[in-house]
Structure 1
């Protein structure tokens, strides 16, 4: 029985041609086994609940087989890494299986960790179990939080050894999204002056993913503004939940405004605006408070890549075209500010608008920073502070200052705010120590904690059955580090 081996695969990206990718098979995992699957992601695809038990599924999603209609390929792109032009990059350990029709529209499936490609740049093309568990869990956790993100269908593993800082074992994550096109795809063809390919890519992307831009006077400008607005929405959501991406290179920025490439990410424990989650980021380029500015910088890089699509035959025309693109990028600023304030109002339980709301939100964050209060727990306890303020007060050193702020907040907040606040301030996020517990068990062959944690993270706004999942992190968690090799 292979009931899934008859799906329709439109594979629209493959129609762009060989300038955009290299077709090649995966290098499968030897003796693979299932680590975890996501029921919510399978439902998104419209697949039966027992799809992973069907004949052939394990082979396909460990890179050892394909279903009819799949066209494995690796795409080429370039980008800026840590603010420096890195040249050609591409899918070095990701392999596009194809695009499958799903109830809500076509979704692309990718294997991450299925071996070397022409874009691996002397790397092995593999992913390790440790980082794969983190990506699998966080992809689905972010979706449950309502954050735009790529999704993770399943995770397979193998005893195949992979060298990182130490010898680890290999794994493959199957992730999906409407498109995996990045800023770096456009940068690649602009930098190499492949203008015909750049035009084809822009036309293809607009036709399939931004059709409302097609009839604009300048579709490229309309596309850039759309991406700027989506990116502003995304980063505001990150900031509002204390999420740090860790490596916001232009090749990790989605043209659809999705959270893309879960590497050295982290949810903050103690609130620190300068928090750096990526141990490799020694200059703090991607610190929490800098994420909005980096996104804005990345949009300028995208604008530069789109410039050849506009009139640039004279200096005057090029200058005017550049100004129109810059104006589109500027849409990010206003959108981010309004989205951030709106999200903070929701987290504080405020309805309507008041001129003092920004200061009220800023002052609470300052108090949190001064006490290094836990980000997630502070807002969760604030949700119940109208009736139970003491648990919140326990998090702060300067209780008099907090009490003064609470008096201002009570004068502004509605008496029935608690339920609304609990619906936007999560009880559980994927903290590093929770992921580490699942990783350590999985490395011993026990995958039950991965599945258990997935269930908990699928309901982040509910108080978990195990209080440990929503508790302050243990002291040993301070020693956990993630880096670009994660």
Structure 2
């Protein structure tokens, strides 16, 4: 899987940014697929942070990324010799409505770098106007860039398929959103940034040749096992559907919510893509909406699963001219529910420390979520503390977990049900605790943690970003020195809102 890419090996002396070994296979497609252009420089760019794990994937030293030559290239102030910058065109459904042509409105792909696991594209987000910017300014602000940088790497550390964030740079250039903010650029990475909307673009324009060309390009580079299949396009749809379903099961299991699950934000590789408004569940509410702009709740926690399926149908509709018949497309899309169900079932068994599956487990899971909903218990703390529950414990030993619930008697009843299940398989506390702590994170990117780091950064202090990045890179470790990052959110956090400008 792409999110488990192994680090590339660095050899020889450190390279300069101008020597970055870029290629750009996407540029080999016809010009209708993209626009070649140069990034727009920002005044006096500065380094903010780099991800060591992401840098290792492309064989770079994170310390080198703080050098002026790398800051210039990864802000868009200079173009490396072998780079072929471009912005891609695509279309999409936004909040369930066909929005027509969209495209990389503030993203510019520099090219891809070869790794032992295949090419990795590097893309600047916030590098200036493109032909697809529409009414936008082509820029990203410090606030949203910090959130994307941190969440990309946090999700990777959680084992969720995701694009990666290599480096974050900033500038004092003023940018207008709801208020005046300053500009920043995230260099993000993925094997490809092709989206469901990339296929919708050609389908809705009746351009079947271009549609086939794009599908063949994707199959050749990322799904070569389908090249000789009787119907490679059906196989492509089925596998993308499975990957998407498994990815969303991973989101549900850690309480992650993507606030803008439009088809132009869905990766053809099943990666979490485009971190605009997002959130990690705190006080559990299945109907929680993390995006303040989403007034109808289309992308609430509970709706992420059916919307993921809907988006796969949109992709299937776009690929239909290549697949052949609606029945064949339906067969491919039928992969969604079993793939999601099997992956979520696997994750829930792991989260509860259960060694095998039993007939009554679904009722145990359902009762657990009803309990969480009724008391709005903290999602992350519940599962983490559940690992410390003793199979034969009592009220005193249950206190840290029990205190998360308003209705403690209801918790006691469910705990008895859970303990009976543990005894049925002779569960051993120490072994179960160790396994559950490898599955249930202690640290996630809570909104208030991100906001605190952002406010420090807006005052010129990036230490909060660095510290939070370090904590989130080890989400399953105890990190006793960082206990404060695992605490219940303060009261003021309840008033934080993120929107499509975030």
Normalising to structure 2: TM-score of the pair? 0.93
In 2, the alpha carbon distance for the partners of 1:50 and 1:399 equals 50
In 2, the alpha carbon distance for the partners of 1:479 and 1:49 equals 36
Q: 1:107 aligns with which of 99, 120, 124?
A: 120
Q: 1:20 aligns with which of 33, 36, 56?
A: 33
CA contact (8 A) 2:259 2:276 kept: yes
Q: How does 1:426-437 map to 2 (within 5 A)?
A: 426-437=441-452
CA contact (8 A) 1:271 1:375 kept: yes
| Structure 2 counterpart of 1:391 | 400
**Distance apart, 1:467 and its partner CA:** 1.8
1:121 is aligned to 2:134: yes
CA contact (8 A) 2:51 2:62 kept: no
Per-residue CA deviation, residues 239-266 of structure 1 (Å, 9 max, x unaligned), is 0000000110000000000000000000
Q: 1:141 aligns with which of 151, 154, 157?
A: 154
| Structure 2 counterpart of 1:268 | 281
Q: 1:402 aligns with which of 411, 420, 424?
A: 411
1:473 is aligned to 2:489: yes
CA contact (8 A) 1:2 1:54 kept: no
CA contact (8 A) 2:248 2:340 kept: yes
In 2, the alpha carbon distance for the partners of 1:29 and 1:209 equals 35
Q: 2:435 aligns with which of 414, 420, 426?
A: 420
Q: 2:216 aligns with which of 198, 203, 211?
A: 203
**Distance apart, 1:50 and its partner CA:** 2.6
In 1, the alpha carbon distance for the partners of 2:157 and 2:103 equals 29
**Distance apart, 1:407 and its partner CA:** 1.4
Q: 1:170 aligns with which of 159, 183, 207?
A: 183
Worse-superposed segment, 455-464 or 177-186: 455-464
| Structure 2 counterpart of 1:30 | 43
Query: What's the RMSD between the two structures over aligned residues?
Result: 1.1
Q: 2:326 aligns with which of 308, 322, 327?
A: 322
CA contact (8 A) 2:284 2:377 kept: yes
Q: How does 1:188-199 map to 2 (within 5 A)?
A: 188-199=201-212
1:335 is aligned to 2:339: yes
CA contact (8 A) 1:45 1:103 kept: no
In 1, the alpha carbon distance for the partners of 2:327 and 2:284 equals 38
CA contact (8 A) 1:2 1:55 kept: no
1:347 is aligned to 2:351: yes
| Structure 2 counterpart of 1:314 | none
In 2, the alpha carbon distance for the partners of 1:262 and 1:141 equals 12
Per-residue CA deviation, residues 425-472 of structure 1 (Å, 9 max, x unaligned), is 100000000000000000000001100100000000112312210000
In 1, the alpha carbon distance for the partners of 2:278 and 2:207 equals 34
In 2, the alpha carbon distance for the partners of 1:239 and 1:418 equals 21
Q: How does 1:55-94 map to 2 (within 5 A)?
A: 56-94=69-107
**Distance apart, 1:54 and its partner CA:** 4.3
SS of residue in 2 equivalent to 1:5: helix
Structure 1: 4+ residue segments shifted above 4 A: none
Q: How does 1:165-314 map to 2 (within 5 A)?
A: 165-311=178-324
**Distance apart, 1:103 and its partner CA:** 3.1
| Structure 2 counterpart of 1:440 | 455
Per-residue CA deviation, residues 79-113 of structure 1 (Å, 9 max, x unaligned), is 00000000000000000000111232210000000
Count of residue correspondences = 477
Per-residue CA deviation, residues 355-377 of structure 1 (Å, 9 max, x unaligned), is 11111111111101100000000
Normalising to structure 1: TM-score of the pair? 0.97
CA contact (8 A) 1:7 1:101 kept: no
**Distance apart, 1:67 and its partner CA:** 1.2
**Distance apart, 1:53 and its partner CA:** 4.1
SS of residue in 2 equivalent to 1:240: helix
Structure 2: give runs of 5+ residues left out of the alignment. 1-13
In 2, the alpha carbon distance for the partners of 1:49 and 1:445 equals 21
1:362 is aligned to 2:371: no
